[in-house]
Amino acid sequence: NAGVTQTPKFQVLKTGQSMTLQCAQDMNHNSMYWYRQDPGMGLRLIYYSASEGTTDKGEVPNGYNVSRLNKREFSLRLESAAPSQTSVYFCASSEWAFTGELFFGEGSRLTVL
């Protein structure tokens, strides 16, 4: 009963390093999302994929890229990490874009030194 699975759960990077956060869902959902959570800021949408083959920018896309690898998987890439990208990242999925319930993963805590 996995739902939405994110890896890694924790990561420490140095400024300028790159990394990819992986996300997979097993609910056959069409839409997937990446949010970041910062204290006092709630959850802010980075990128989303309304359906397989499409991706769109959210509220805070700068410094990130995404790939919808297939219907199950949606990855988030930081090409050159900056301290401002220190955050907790959540992947989520839903049956259709922004309607109904979003199911979230457990989060990935990223620290950029």
Contacts with other proteins by CB under 8 A lie at: 4, 33, 35, 40-45, 48, 58-59, 90, 92, 97-99, 101-102, 104-107
Considering beta carbons, is residue 8 or 16 the nearer one to other proteins?
A: 8
In the complex with other proteins, the residue whose CB is nearer, 26 or 59, is: 59
Q: Is 82 helix (H, G, I), strand (E, B) or coil?
A: coil
User: Smallest distance from the beta carbon of 48 to other proteins, in angstroms?
Assistant: 7
Neighbours of 70 (CB within 10 A): 10
Question: Minimum CB separation from other proteins for residue 14, in Å?
Answer: 25
**Cβ distance 109 to 9 under 8 Å?**
yes
Burial 25-41 (b: 16+ CB within 10 A, else e): beeebbbbbbbbeeeee
Judged by CB, which is closer to other proteins: 35, or 74? 35
Minimum gap (Å) between residue 81 Cβ and other proteins: 22
